[in-house]
Amino acid sequence: MARIPERFLWGVATAAYQIEGAVDEDGRGPSVWDTFCHAPGKIRDGHTGDVACDHYHRWREDVGLIASLGAGAYRFSIAWPRIQPDGRGLVNAAGLDFYDRLVDVLAERGVAACPTLFHWDLPQPLEDNGGWLDRDTAYRFADYAAVVAERIGDRARMWITLNEPYIVMALGYGLGMHAPGRTLLLGALPAAHHQLLGHGLAVAALRDHGAGEVAITNAYSPTEPETDSAADVTAAAAYDTLMNRVFTDPVLLGRYPDLSAFPDADLSFVRDGDLKVISAPIDALGVNYYFPTRLRTLPDSPLPFEMCAYPEAPATAFGWPVVPEGLHRLLGLLRDRYPGLPPIYVTENGCSYDDMPDAAGRVADPDRIAYLDGHIKAVRQAMDDGIDVRGYFVWSLLDNFEWSEGYHQRFGLVHVDYATQRRTPKSSYAWYRDLIADGRAG
């Protein structure tokens, strides 16, 4: 395999609600995740992001961990409710100050800042007006993007507009497993379109403010049928369309994929000109990959598929199958599907395991090292195939609040003791540091 080029960006990723805590401080307003976590029975063991990793107060220590890793880039998200507590209008200066200081210190430490504008923490007042089901939210998002770009745009290396809009649509509005907890099934499709419209409008707003690289980050999972029966093949294709195409075809091809596999799918809310806005050129595509999905048919259902187990692959603590080849396959699929594919950054990849400090205070996490090693090799293979991958971000720097799983899934290179907020780098942290230092060889 060829060496990974020197300019390849090695990074780590986090998201605001998962690490910051301080939900009531310095003028931050409530987000849909605050509301969802405080509703009984939504999150495992009633956990909330109220304190999380207390990063809002400990961010300097966390930047120190990123710098000591030798990472070239840090992908973090900006909490919209810190910037605009109402989701519109009035800007909260303290919120902007927080991220302004963060990007300054990242720059001092030689770490490129890669802010994500929306990693799921929608201001609750916007949700009260329909959230992403409401077209107006797209325009509010673009206004917010402009406010943030005006302040930190000079120091942002790469902007990511949205994180995984598929998950917001599917788990947030379709199945009710994530905030805001709606169960609309395919009635959630407006939330897809309005997020995409918000993305396109935000791209324009960012460009107006001199942004350099602009990207969108999508969740991808290469699919496969459980058997080679025509029905299972159709089921796998339907899931592939919904997860892998609905949020990428409009951006890269300027049109929605064929949704005829879903009898209830209705795109009547798409207005003339929307797809032109959505398909404004982007500089990079953010790819989040965790595992592939195997499917079988589920006749007479609005969602005509069912997920199957992956018995032959090892599983993480989350039960997610470990299939590094899936990342190689996915990158090839994107290349084949999109002729003008922009450069790719793997903006998330990682795994949860329960490793805890031993008596000497060390955390050995060999399974994480194996996972990362396998997936980084898959990236190298894709690069050898000629695919333009420019960076790789481990999810995550720290153990953190894993959405509906609360604090049960630990994805960090750094262990967090939530009782004391003590950070302990795991053996994977040292492994990744050495990999970055060793001529970025992988």
**Would you tell me which residues interact with ligand FCB (CB under 6 A)?**
15, 18, 163-164, 167, 219, 288, 348, 395, 402-403, 411
| Shortest distance, position 263 Cβ to ligand FCB, whole Å | 28
Nearest approach, Cβ of residue 409 and ligand FCB (Å): 7
Smallest distance, ligand FCB to C-beta of residue 13, A: 8
> C-beta of 413: minimal distance to ligand FCB in Å?
13
Pairing, β 9-13 against β 73-77: parallel
Residue 308's CB is within 10 A of a number of other CB atoms, namely: 17
Closest CB to ligand FCB among residues 279, 293 = 293
**Is 285 in a helix, a strand, or coil?**
strand
Nearer CB in complex with ligand FCB: 102/351: 351
Contact 169, 190 (CB under 8 A): no
The answer to whether residue 348 is catalytic is yes
- Return all residues near 339 (Cβ < 8 A) that are at least 6 apart: none
Q: Of the residues 164, 224, 226, 402, which is catalytic? A: 164
Q: Which two tokens stand for residue 257?
A: 């994929």
User: Quick count: other Cβ atoms within 10 Å of Cβ 359?
Assistant: 5
The H or E element containing residue 390 is strand 389-395
**From the CB of residue 62, how many other CB atoms can be counted at a distance below 10 Å?**
22
- Structure token pair of residue 382: 């894709």
Asked, as a colleague might, if the bond just before 311 is cis with ω within 30 of 0, I would say: no
Nearer to ligand FCB, 122 or 219 (CB): 219
CB of 403 to ligand FCB, least distance (A): 6
Q: Of 92 and 218, which has the nearer Cβ to ligand FCB?
A: 218
Q: What distance in Å separates the CA atoms of residue 76 and residue 56, rounded to the nearest whole number?
A: 12
Q: Compute the CA torsion angle 256, 257, 263, 264 (nearest 10 deg).
A: -30
Is 245 within 8 Å of 257 (Cβ atoms)? Answer: yes
Distance of closest approach, residue 407 Cβ to ligand FCB, in angstroms: 12
In whole angstroms, how large is the CA radius of gyration of the chain? Answer: 20
Q: Which is nearer to ligand FCB, 137 or 217 (CB)?
A: 217
409: left (phi over 0), alpha (psi -120 to 50) or beta: beta
| DSSP states of 72-109 | SEEEEE--HHHH-TTSSS---HHHHHHHHHHHHHHHHT
CA distance 345 to 282: 13
Cβ neighbours for 311, distance < 8 A, ≥ 6 positions apart: none
90 exposure class (CB count in 10 Å sphere: 0-12, 13-18, 19+) = exposed
Minimum gap (Å) between residue 425 Cβ and ligand FCB? 19
- Token pair, residue 380, equals 């190298």
Residue with Cβ nearer ligand FCB (232 or 348): 348
Least Cβ distance, residue 136 to ligand FCB (angstroms): 25
Q: Indicate the residue among 164 and 367 with the shorter CB distance to ligand FCB.
A: 164
Rounded to the nearest whole angstrom, what is the least distance from the CB of residue 175 to ligand FCB in the complex? 14
**Which one, 33 or 232, has the nearer CB to ligand FCB?**
33
Q: How far is CA 78 from CA 56, 145, 150, 237, in A?
A: 12, 10, 14, 35
Separation CA 244–CA 10 (nearest Å): 25
In terms of residues, how long is the chain? 442
> Among 20, 127, 213, 348, which one carries the catalytic annotation?
348
Q: Decide whether 137 or 349 has the Cβ nearer to ligand FCB.
A: 349
Q: Which positions are catalytic?
A: 164, 348
